[in-house]
Amino acid sequence: MRRLTLPLWLISGFLYAFMYAPIVVVIVFSFNSARHGGPWMGFTTEWYAKLLDSPDKITATNNTVILAVVSTIVSTVLGTMLGYGMSRYRFPGKRMFSWLMYIPVVIPDIVMAVAMLSFYALLRDWLGLFQLGMTTMIIAHITFQIPFVAIVVRSRMVGMDPAIEEAAHDLGASTWQTFWNVTFPLMIPGVLAGAMLAITLSLDDFVVSFFTTGPGATTLPILIYSSVKRGITPDINALSTLIVLASVAGVIGATLLQRPHRQAGGG
Amino acid sequence: MASNSTAIEVEHLVRRFGDIEALSDVSVTIRKGEFFSLLGPSGCGKTTLLRIIGGLDIPDGGVVRIGGVDAREIVAHKRPVNTVFQSYALFPHMNVSDNIAFGLRMKKVPKPEIQERVKRVMNLVEITSLGDRKPAQLSGGQKQRVALARAVVNEPQVLLLDEPLGALDLKLRKQLQVELLSLQRRLGITFVYVTHDQEEALVMSDRIAVMRAGKIVQMGESESLYEHPQTRYVSQFLGSCNILDATVKQRGTTDAIVDTPAGQLRVEYGLNPPNVAKSDKFTLAIRPEKVTLCGIAEGSGENRIKVRVEELLYVGSETHYLLRAGPQKLTAQAMNVKVGSQGFDIGQEAVAYLPAAGLLLLDD
């Protein structure tokens, strides 16, 4: 390890300021008693109290959590199956399919959103189903989450010695027993990391949600966007601060979750 | 056909990977209770053969019979064989006891019996105190013992071992060679052992099959394989060998006089007269330790060649002499019986004695 020199200290200090200054501003102003931004008028927690009295914000929070949790559960199951299949089976066109897996990752959100919107419009015409709302939004989120989960799980599988599964077979385990007793426990860190990524993507998604949502299914990012159009109000700062807090808690939780697995998983 | 003394029969086995034939028409019979080694350089097909016997790979042609039963009729994970993997392949999320118990749990053996058998086998390989450790907390030698215990606890008819000592340092390897051998003798299980280490194969095996490019080139008991290699390849893969180009000058019933670049030699081939006639060219071989180096005074007589010592390699218990007789290079090895100098120095003239019975006629 090398010691940090003064210029390095300054550069790192600047970088951290660059990353965190905007967030600090949001947090500080969430405690400012001024009604319309501007100068510091004194400390207050009024805006946090006001959040609790605001049913539309509470509904939006509920929607966001339901959307994130449901889409993450479904996409983690499907993405894990995809990642496992891509790493453990041989089939014609495998290279093309693994290439296709990356397309939803690199495609711009807006394209994905417009594509989903037109796709749903088409289905509505044909089947009369898929009215825009929570369901369509959940399906859209699952669509862009799956490849992220699959890629993380597959990279975990690639790092696993194939002889470990062969050993299970050799010791009399059927394919099913091998998967549940050996493969899956070793995949768990990858599955959790994939799920973590998926839930983060869902929580802060604006573009896809905005295009695929319908009446009564407003999420927090959409709500914040529409409020901010009329100017930034202090209660939005308070809401944002709470979201930052929840994210930090999530990151700490994920780190704690992964710790015992790192030791047991061996890598 | 399968008799009671046969553990494994392999007939006309073929395995291709793309254009490469990893196994081409391999047939071998492995007897019950023997320590059988597959020896060859990497890529010769020995691991592929082992994996097919263990049901981890499927051949493109040919038959494997285990205890007289066609292996295709036994589901891969129900075969009465177990494998010790080169990388050990221990389950990293289970402790040592659970690793060892895995096979028995899969077979739904009652819990008390599992505990009893796991305990017994842990005693057998001397890892009694390691039950609660995770594989990541074990040394290489300990992992090796756990891998062995995990296989042996299932009491397989045949144990397949894929270079099990390959990752260990020399001293530990030698120690485990002895332990493995005594374990095999005590359990009476047939061992099929894959290695690229010729010394390991010689030390441990009842019989060895030497493989090259997907084929078994020679098979036999350790001693007969070492003393009577049939080809240049086997002679040099199993130990080292001096090779001389020879021409038959005079052929007798049990011996022949041949011309070599080092001079005229008499070759005794005993009861197996080779298929050579007068003026035929062939390859003659002799093991370095069969070559005796003596003083220049003992210079005349049969199979004695004047040589010049070009290099000495002192390896502790013995010395290797690199010799030259005209255009022919020879190597001799001698135990360092005397204390201090063995009496030969670089540049010195000496006489090499190549005993007629130690000279081998090779097929290629």
Q: How does DSSP assign B259-274, residue by residue?
A: EETTEEEEEE-TTS--
Q: Inter-chain contact A163–B86, Cβ cutoff 8 Å?
A: yes
Q: Which residues contact B277 (CB under 8 A, 6 or more apart)?
A: B248, B251
Q: How does DSSP assign B138-155, residue by residue?
A: S-HHHHHHHHHHHHHTT-
Give the model's pLDDT for residue A255: 75
Name the percent of chain B lying above pLDDT 90: 55
Q: In A, which residues are within 8 Å of B85 by CB distance?
A: 163, 166-167
Give the model's pLDDT for residue B340: 77
Give the model's pLDDT for residue A258: 61
> Based on C-alpha coordinates, what's the Rg of chain B?
25
Residue of A nearest to B136 (CA): A266
CA pair distance B222, B201, nearest whole angstrom = 8
Helix axes A134-158, A184-203, angle to 10 degrees: 140
Quote the tokens at residue A23.
């967030």
Average of per-residue pLDDT values in chain B:
89
Higher pLDDT, B210 or A97: B210
Give the model's pLDDT for residue A264: 41
User: Residues B301-327: what's their mean pLDDT?
Assistant: 90
Whether the CB of A35 is below 8 Å from some CB of chain B: the reply is: no
- Under a CB-based contact definition with an 8 Å cutoff, are residues B177 and B149 in contact? no
Q: Hey, of A164, A171, A258, which one would you mutate to test binding to chain B, going by the most B CBs within 10 A of its CB? A: A171
User: What region does A130 belong to: left with phi over 0, alpha with psi -120 to 50, or beta?
Assistant: left
Give the model's pLDDT for residue A257: 67
Q: How many CB atoms lie within 10 A of CB A222?
A: 19
Could you read off the pLDDT of B126-159 as tens digits, one per residue? 899 999 999 999 998 999 999 999 999 999 999 9
Question: What is the predicted ipTM?
Answer: 0.81
Helices and strands counted in chain A (H then E): 13, 0
Could you read off the pLDDT of B231-258 as tens digits, one per residue? 999 998 888 899 999 988 888 888 888 9
Helix axes A134-158, A109-127, angle to 10 degrees: 130
Return the closest-CA partner of residue A182 out of A192, A194, A169.
A169
DSSP H/E element including B196: none
Lay out the sheet containing B158-162: strands in order across: B81-84, B158-162, B190-195, B35-39, B207-212, B215-221
Give the model's pLDDT for residue A265: 40
Q: Inter-chain contact A166–B89, Cβ cutoff 8 Å?
A: yes
Give the model's pLDDT for residue B69: 87
Return the closest-CA partner of residue B71 out of B84, B85, B88, B57.
B57
Helix axes B140-152, B170-187, angle to 10 degrees: 20
Is residue B76 over pLDDT 70? no
- Under a CB-based contact definition with an 8 Å cutoff, are residues B31 and B37 in contact? no
How do the domains of chain A map onto residue ranges? 45-265
Quote the tokens at residue A122.
């088409």
Could you read off the pLDDT of B97-132 as tens digits, one per residue? 999 999 999 999 999 999 999 999 999 888 999 999
Size of interface A-B (CB pairs under 8 A): 72
Whether the CB of A25 is below 8 Å from some CB of chain B: the reply is: no
Q: Inter-chain contact A166–B154, Cβ cutoff 8 Å?
A: no
Give the model's pLDDT for residue A267: 35
User: What region does B33 belong to: left with phi over 0, alpha with psi -120 to 50, or beta?
Assistant: left
User: Residues B310-336: what's their mean pLDDT?
Assistant: 90
Could you say which DSSP state residue A253 is in?
Answer: H
CA pair distance B82, B152, nearest whole angstrom = 8
Burial grade of A24 (CB within 10 A; 0-12, 13-18, 19 or more): exposed
Return the closest-CA partner of residue A238 out of A254, A227, A230.
A227
Residue of B nearest to A164 (CA): B89
Give the model's pLDDT for residue B252: 82
Residues of chain A with pLDDT below 70 are 1, 37, 257-267
Q: In A, which residues are within 8 Å of B55 by CB distance?
A: 169-170
Give the model's pLDDT for residue A72: 95
DSSP H/E element including B333: strand B328-335
Residue of B nearest to A183 (CA): B91
> What kind of architecture, by CATH, is found in domain A45-265?
Orthogonal Bundle (1.10)
Helix axes B140-152, B96-106, angle to 10 degrees: 20
Q: In B, which residues are within 8 Å of A164 by CB distance?
A: 89-92
Burial grade of B340 (CB within 10 A; 0-12, 13-18, 19 or more): exposed
Chain B: nearest CA to A39, how far in angstroms? 57
Domains of chain B: 6-229 (3.40.50.300), 240-362 (2.40.50.100)
Q: In B, which residues are within 8 Å of A176 by CB distance?
A: none
CA pair distance B246, B254, nearest whole angstrom = 17
Q: Inter-chain contact B89–A171, Cβ cutoff 8 Å?
A: no
Q: In B, which residues are within 8 Å of A161 by CB distance?
A: 87, 89
